[in-house]
Structure 1
């Protein structure tokens, strides 16, 4: 039996010129998660794979400060989809959408859900070089299928909410609506655990941030 841990990156830099960098809190989340996972690993070898985006690599760096690794690699299959292009394309097609100058987290969530819903239904006019919905899921599924965790080991994949939801879509045979709902639930620096055996793959935990639920860390449960 092999465990596979799917980890979402820490809080990124929403509202700045470069979202693809961890915030100070995001770096702290990654370090806390590394400390939490060290006990969970229970002396098993941990093989870490991350996407190639800066926020994913930086999260892996923070985890690795406390969690000794047997190996480390990067796979572009676990990069996030280009959500900025998806949102901008949707806004261009819906010029009357009432977007506030400084939208709240809830307003951004509604916007992203609408844009992703249109993307999933093939209703966006994306540039030709941008991924369509099926291509994104095909890319992630290909990366998932390449993972070959050894028995009694842990394979950790540090990625993003969209890619994690895509893995679960593949494993659990989810439809578009369920995939979108899972995507928007996934917290920063959360842990989703699966077990792979000869008979298949089973989900054993989803979106776990229990290590952040104590009083002095509750502020660190974030979604962006």
Structure 2
């Protein structure tokens, strides 16, 4: 059987003008991941990343660390199927309907870095309404159904190119991993996102595949940062 390693990107710049940039913590997480994979003796046959800068940079830094520790590494292939869903679009589309019952929501969302727990509560509520379809389709927002279809097509392309026994890394985002869990295990979107909120930056989830048959082998492995005993490297956003 072959293996697909789903890797969430390193910590991005939450609260900054450009979220899609790895923080210094995100850089170290990515390097620690590559060092750990090299220590495990993992030799990747393929590496795929979404188009987002945080995904690409996580892949580049991890592979550089693997190479520096004696591993041969493949080039990074890019597939937009593994991009995150449009979180900003979800907020824009769902916030107006939320304000009557959550009048402080706009202030919290504008100051998320100072209100992290409340930001997460409100964002999770809007994501729930998004995957439940509680928004107007004409607002241009990618639906949950379209998002999962995009991710499924990307997984299909990976499997089509793969050979039996390949080890493949996919550098992606938490929502994309949630969609893959939904597709592979048939859990509900609600269950998938309950797991999504637990995924730490640069964690590994492992899928096993034989042909087009895919099963979940492990979820949210954190050994590469836990073993360093540096608590600030364990981040969720």
Alignment TM-score > 0.5, same fold: yes
Distance in 2 (CA, whole Å) between partners of 1:81 and 1:26 is 20
CA distance in 1, matches of 2:138, 2:24: 34
Q: Secondary structure at the match of 1:13?
A: coil
Mapping for residues 134-173 of structure 1, pairs under 5 Å: 134-148=145-159, 149-173=162-186
Give the superposition deviation at 1:116. Answer: 0.6
Change (3 A) 1:184 1:126: farther
What is the CA–CA distance in structure 1 between the aligned matches of 2:5 and 2:77, rounded to whole Å? 15
Map of 2:69 onto structure 1: none
Counterparts of 2:94 and 2:125, CA distance in 1: 8
Q: Is the 8 A contact 2:90 2:141 kept in 1?
A: no
Choose 18-27 or 117-126, whichever is displaced more.
117-126
Q: Number of aligned pairs?
A: 223
Give the SS at the match of 2:40: helix
Moved segments of 4+, more than 6 Å: none
Q: What is the rounded CA distance, in whole Å, between the counterparts of 1:188 and 1:83 in structure 2?
A: 17
**Offset at residue 108 of structure 1 (A):** 1.9
- Over 3 Å counting, the alpha-carbon distance change for 1:132 and 1:213 in structure 2 is same
The residue aligned with 1:222 is: 235
Shift of 1:185: 1.4
Post-superposition offset of 1:199: 8.2
2: CA distance, partners of 1:201 / 1:218? 33
Gaps of 5+ in 1: none
Structure-2 separation of matches of 1:41 and 1:50:
21
Superposed counterparts of 1:1-224, under 5 Å: 1-42=1-42, 44-67=43-66, 68-96=72-100, 97=102, 98-99=104-105, 100=108, 101-102=111-112, 103-125=114-136, 128-148=139-159, 149-198=162-211, 200-214=213-227, 216-224=229-237
Distance 1:135 1:37 in 2: 33
CA 1:199/1:215 → structure 2, altered by over 3 Å: closer, same or farther? closer
Question: In the alignment, is the contact (CA less than 8 A) between 1:85 and 1:126 conserved in 2?
Answer: no
Q: For residues 112-162 of structure 1, what are the alpha-carbon distances to aligned partners after superposition, in whole Å with 9 as ceiling and x for unaligned?
A: 210011101111236543201100010001101111332232110000000
Q: Which has the higher helix share?
A: 2
Moved more, 174-183 or 161-170: 174-183
Distance in 1 between residues matched to 2:236 and 2:185, nearest whole Å: 23
The answer for unaligned runs of 5 or more in structure 2 is: 67-71
Deviations 1:47-76 (A, max 9, x none): 100000011001011111122323320000
Distance 1:126 1:185 in 2: 29
Supply the RMSD in Å over aligned alpha carbons.
1.8
Q: Return the offset for 1:200.
A: 2.7
